[in-house]
Amino acid sequence: MTSRVVITGLGALTPLGKTVSESWSNLLRGKSGIRPISELPDAKDYESHCPASVGVANVTGFNPMDYGDLFTSQDLRRMSLFTQFAVVAAQEALKDANLLNTVDEYNNERFGCVIGSGIASIQDMYESILNFDRGKKLPPTFVPKILANMACGNVSIKFQLRGVSHCVSTACATGNNAIGDAYNFIRLGYNDVCLAGASEASVHPLSLSGFLRAKSITPDGISRPFDKERNGFVLGEGAGLMVLESLEHAQKRGARIYAEIEGYGLTSDAHHITSPSESGDGARRAMEMALKGHDPRQVDYVNAHATSTILGDRAELNAISNIFAPNRSIPLKLSSNKGAMGHLLGAAGAVESIFTIKSLQEGLVPHTLNLKRIGEAKGDNFGDLKALDFVTGSPVRHDLEYALSNSFGFGGINSSLLFRKWVS
């Protein structure tokens, strides 16, 4: 018999704040975490590669020394920035779940860790390659610092999690895939508890230049999910982690439960390495897989991937319309967090799933920043959108029972998670 899986702890470090509470509060306030590259401390490194109008969404003011004794001097020599982000988010999630420093009490050999990253440490790769080309020796920490699984490995060591140690790297679907894999590990009996999510420290001149060359980045620094004027995403970074437990384990220790995961879908477009098919076929199948056993009309809210690209938003909206519009009496609430915090690449789905859980818990749907004219870009043809309620202007109160969080990535990867509000 497979276990039911619930969420008991949340941790995040985002362009909107250094904790879940701060990030969530700023999202609801309509605050933007996006700023022009001219305001970055290392702005000069961007000047010759990127237009001054380009914006980024970075974690501002991050200093590992602000976290007391969480990091040793040896940690800081060995850990890349994306790993440091993950450790901070992990500590918050474990503390929130009342599991910090008590892991041994709950059999840490049954406590897993699933943390992914899309790019891992581009900063360390860049600096080491420059030094290598100049004839300098590579540091002994070079390889460990650039491996994508080092966030997971270091978090496991730091907090003594001796169950499954697993890394996911599926581009911008990474966060949701990590949570979905942890969900399955618990259902299959591999673990009783799992810390899961993703971390990304991707704001760098090299990565930004690469995405600009791929024509993925908006040149004006404004993220406009689903809007007529959408023309690319804003590069962001951060980390989001959550504690998943079997319902039996959570109830046995008297844990506070946020929500339950009731479905997970993952598919491939098998279409193009960066562009989805306009029909949104892969996204539709991922959502249908997550909804297995549920009527689409049960879902109250979709936290959309919606990166603010022409084709990506079009494909997702086509898929959502095909699934949720028919025979619907109450319009589906729909919004995207990326207007406020940019696109956190691999960490996007993990942070957005945390916001989705907060929406369920508080009965509040955050609005989409910069969304003024829906589906009017050249080539958009969505027909009747009356069954979809795009939340704009300000958050909306709504008693939510089910919510879906979508994440899609380069390579044609689609993932979707179905969460249900926990009522004790």
Domain count, the chain: 2
The answer to whether residues 311 and 360 belong to one domain is yes
Residue 258 lies in a domain: no
| 313 within a domain of the structure (yes/no) | yes
Q: Give the model confidence (pLDDT) of 288-297 as tens digits.
A: 999 999 999 9
CATH no. for residue 100?
3.40.47.10
The pairing of strands 402-409 and 165-166 is unpaired
Q: For 346-374, how does the pLDDT look when each residue is reduced to its tens digit (9 = 90+)?
A: 999 999 999 999 999 999 999 999 999 98
Provide the pLDDT for residue 3.
Answer: 85
Residue 221 pLDDT class (50, 70, 90 cuts)? very high
Q: Which of 220, 252, 284 is the last residue of a domain?
A: 252
- How would you list the strands of the sheet with 413-421, edge to edge? 165-166, 111-116, 193-200, 238-246, 5-13, 259-268, 413-421, 402-409, 299-303, 332-335, 388-390
Residue 422, both tokens: 């926990």
pLDDT higher than threshold 90 for residue 382: no
Average pLDDT of the segment spanning 247-260: 97
Based on the fold, state whether residues 317 and 403 are members of the same structural domain: yes
Residue range 134-158, pLDDT digits in tens: 999 999 999 999 999 999 999 999 9
Residues 181 and 108 in one domain: yes
Residues of the domain holding 242: 5-252
Residue 322 lies in a domain: yes
Q: 379 pLDDT band (50/70/90 cuts)?
A: confident
Residues 212 and 270 in one domain: no
**Does 178 lie in the same domain as 63?**
yes
Amino acid at 219: P
Co-location of 222 and 285 in the same domain: no
Residue in 152, 167, 172, 194 annotated catalytic: 172
With cut-offs at 50, 70 and 90, classify the pLDDT of residue 261: very high
Q: What pLDDT, on the 0 to 100 scale, is given for residue 103?
A: 65
Predicted local confidence at residue 378, as pLDDT: 82
Position 257 in a domain: no
Compute the mean pLDDT over every residue in the chain, rounded to the nearest whole number. Answer: 95
**Is pLDDT above 90 for 17?**
yes
Give the per-residue pLDDT at 1: 60
For residue 129, CA distances in Å to 122, 136, 226, 306 come to: 11, 10, 39, 34
Phi-psi region of 71 (alpha: psi -120 to 50; beta: other; left: phi over 0): beta
For this structure, is 172 an active site residue?
A: yes
What token pair was written down for 35? 């700023």
